[in-house]
Structure formats: C-alpha cells, structure tokens
Amino acid sequence: MESLTNAIQAVPLNHYIILSALIFSIGVMGVLLRRNAIVIFMSVELMLNSVNLLLTAFSVYRGDAAGQVFVFFIMALAAAEVAVGLAIIVMIYRNTNSIDINVLNRLKW
Amino acid sequence: MPNLKAGQKYIENINMITFYFIAFLSIFFSILVISAKNPVHSILYLILTFFTFTIHYILLNAQFLAIVNFIVYMGAILVLFLYTLMLINLNKESEPVKPFMVKMAAVFGGGILAVALVASLKITGTSDPVVLKDPGLGLVKNLGKVLFNEFLLPFEVSSVLLLSAMVGAVLLATKDTKETKAIN
C-alpha cells in the first residue's frame, strides 16, 4: 500500500487539468454533435466525470479532504439527475415516438 | 524526494506510465462514446470510460471515491441507461443524423473550447507535481469524519434531494392515461 501512496508524485498537476479539459471538451462536442437525447445525456455524464476527476486531483494536490466530499455530493446529484432525466426521456418517447431532440422545438416561439 | 530508493523510483516510473496510458484510454473511449452510431455501443464505451476513471481515482489513492464511482456510476447509472434504451426500443433507421456542416461546426466549437482551456492553463503556469502528503486522505475513515462534521447539513439535504428525485422519476415515468390524452 505504501508504494501505491508514494506512487503518483511524479505526475504534474497540469496533466490532470489538461486531461480533464480534453474530456470536458469531448463532452461538449457530444452535446453539439448528436441529436439522440440519450447520447446527449451520456455526454453530460462525461462532463460531470471530468470535473469529478479534476476536483479529486486538486484535493490530493492541496491535501484537503473537502474536495473529495464535494465529489461525493456531485455523484449523489448525478444519480438523482439521471433518474429524473431518463424518466423525462421515456415520457417524451411515449408522447412523440422519437427521442430526436429536434422534435422538441415547440418552446422556440 | 532526494532519498528515494531505486525500487521506489522504479514503481514511481511504472505508475507514471500507467497514468499516461490510462489517460490515453480515457480520451480514446470518450471519443468513441460520442462517435459510435449505435447508442448501445455508446453506453458500453461509457462503461469503459468510467472504468478508466476508477483507475485514476485508485492512482490518486482516493479509495472511497474509486469504490463509489464503481458502484454508483457503473452499477446504477449505466444500468439505468441500458434499461431506458431497452424500453425505448431504438431502430437503426430511427437514429437521427445531423448534416455534415453542423457536425463540422460542433467539432470546431469543441476544439476551440479545448484550446481555450489549455491556453488559459498555460498562463497560470502551475506545473507542480501532485504529491500525496497525507496517505490517509482518501480513505473512508478520514472522509467520514469530514462528511459528518463539516458537511452534515448538506449530507442531510442530499437525502431530501434523492427522495424528491425518486418521487419525481416515478411520477414522470408512470403512464397516466388521462393526462396524456389531455396533452395530446
């Protein structure tokens, strides 16, 4: 265990930030690219996870446990959000027989 | 650390290589998530992406978060996704496709965001290595103490949030024949 705790010393904080930024951008790209509501939802999950990783890296960097507690709360929030969001998607599918988000343009004007 | 032993140095290098390899895998699988044509494949790639995130947490010695990530994301959330996909019964031909120009614009916009984030990171110039000062930082014992002392109120409020989300999900997903007729 001791070897594992000493292990990560060499990776710079920058590389964690770059990794999280790239995965966050990929999530944004997914939201813009796809029209399938479920895939858009998965891209949002990807963004949430990249932020979680970044918070954990900062928490280890600063030696402060609060960051990891925040990640725990974000995970609880994500679980609630997924439950409600997927229920909404199921309801939309039942009403419109499609999960294409372009069907849902009645709120436009 | 100046007085590192040779064995420790070796393990350190191995772990550095592991980090970069796993980081590459995370990016690779997350690109596959957004580019897979079939939504079921997207979900399976998302599971692999979350696997790599769990490995990142283990490398950061955040053992509690690794376990929670494993159970909550891969156990609960992705099963929920798969069940919803099963309920929705998507066909290949019903998969909506955007025009090519819109796709190019989307990739361009995401790329611009990535460039902006990395460039703003470059200005701040923080490149210190991530050193784990307290080995017990991410363990359940330490996190439980913080959670139930400083963050007791948010913890209780999150239970109310989960309850309301559960009630809301059941309310939304149940088939209310009268109301759906009224909407249509």
- In a domain, residue B87? The reply is yes
Is B107 found in the same domain as B91?
A: no
- In a domain, residue B173? The reply is no
Distance CA B39, CA A39 (A): 7
- For residue B134 the two structure tokens come to 């307290």
Q: Is residue B177 scored above 70 in pLDDT? A: no
In CATH, A12-101 is 1.10.645.10: no
Is B81 found in the same domain as B57?
A: yes
Task: Over range B64-73, report the average pLDDT.
Answer: 91
Tens of pLDDT, residues A60-73: 888 888 899 999 99
Is B23 found in the same domain as B7?
A: yes
Is B64 found in the same domain as B4?
A: yes
Q: Look at residues B35, B53, B47 and name the one whose alpha carbon lies nearest to residue B82.
A: B47
Residue A78 sits at the vertex; the CA angle it makes with B98 and B61, to the nearest 5 degrees, is 115
Q: Is residue B107 scored above 60 in pLDDT? A: yes
- In a domain, residue B17? The reply is yes
Chain A residues with CB inside 8 Å of B117's CB?
21, 24-25
**pLDDT at A35 (0 to 100):** 83
Task: Over range B127-146, report the average pLDDT.
Answer: 81
The CATH number that applies at residue B51 is 1.20.120.1200
Task: Over range B79-84, report the average pLDDT.
Answer: 89
Predicted ipTM beyond 0.95: no
- In a domain, residue B183? The reply is no
**pLDDT at B180 (0 to 100):** 54
Is B89 found in the same domain as B109?
A: no
Angle at which helix B6-35 crosses helix A37-62, to 10 degrees, equals 160
Q: Look at residues A47, A40, A34, A29 and name the one whose alpha carbon lies nearest to residue B110.
A: A29
H helices present in A1-109, as ranges: 2-5, 13-33, 37-62, 66-96
Model confidence at B45, pLDDT cuts 50, 70, 90, reads very high
Q: Look at residues B37, B38, B71 and name the one whose alpha carbon lies nearest to residue B57.
A: B71
Residues linked to residue A36 through DSSP beta bridges, in sequence order: A100
Chain B residues with CB inside 8 Å of A78's CB?
72-73, 77
Test the A interface: residue of B43, B137, B146, B177 with most A CBs within 10 Å: B137
- In a domain, residue B142? The reply is no
Interchain CB distance below 8 Å, A76 and B128: no
Task: Over range B107-116, report the average pLDDT.
Answer: 91
- For residue B118 the two structure tokens come to 């990395």
Is B119 found in the same domain as B85?
A: no
Task: Over range B110-134, report the average pLDDT.
Answer: 83
- In a domain, residue B65? The reply is yes
Q: How far is CA B100 from the centre of its chain?
A: 28
Minimal CA separation from A61 to chain B, in Å: 5
**pLDDT at B183 (0 to 100):** 56
Overall number of domains in chain B: 2
Q: Is residue B103 scored above 60 in pLDDT? A: yes
Distance CA B71, CA B83 (A): 17
Q: Look at residues A48, A12, A13 and name the one whose alpha carbon lies nearest to residue A28.
A: A48
Tens of pLDDT, residues A78-97: 999 999 999 988 888 888 87
Q: Is residue A8 scored above 50 in pLDDT? A: no
Domain span at residue B3?
1-96
Is B1 found in the same domain as B61?
A: yes
Is B102 found in the same domain as B83?
A: no
**pLDDT at A46 (0 to 100):** 93
Tens of pLDDT, residues B22-40: 999 999 999 999 988 888 8
Is B21 found in the same domain as B87?
A: yes
Q: Is residue B43 scored above 60 in pLDDT? A: yes
Tens of pLDDT, residues B143-154: 888 899 999 999
Is B70 found in the same domain as B6?
A: yes
How many CB atoms lie under 10 A from the CB of residue A15?
17
Q: Is residue B9 scored above 90 in pLDDT? A: no
- In a domain, residue B42? The reply is yes
Quick one: CA dihedral A65, A70, A71, A75, positive or negative? positive
Q: Is residue A7 scored above 50 in pLDDT? A: no
Interchain CB distance below 8 Å, B165 and A81: yes
Is B67 found in the same domain as B10?
A: yes
**pLDDT at B33 (0 to 100):** 92
Q: Look at residues B30, B41, B147 and name the one whose alpha carbon lies nearest to residue A53.
A: B30
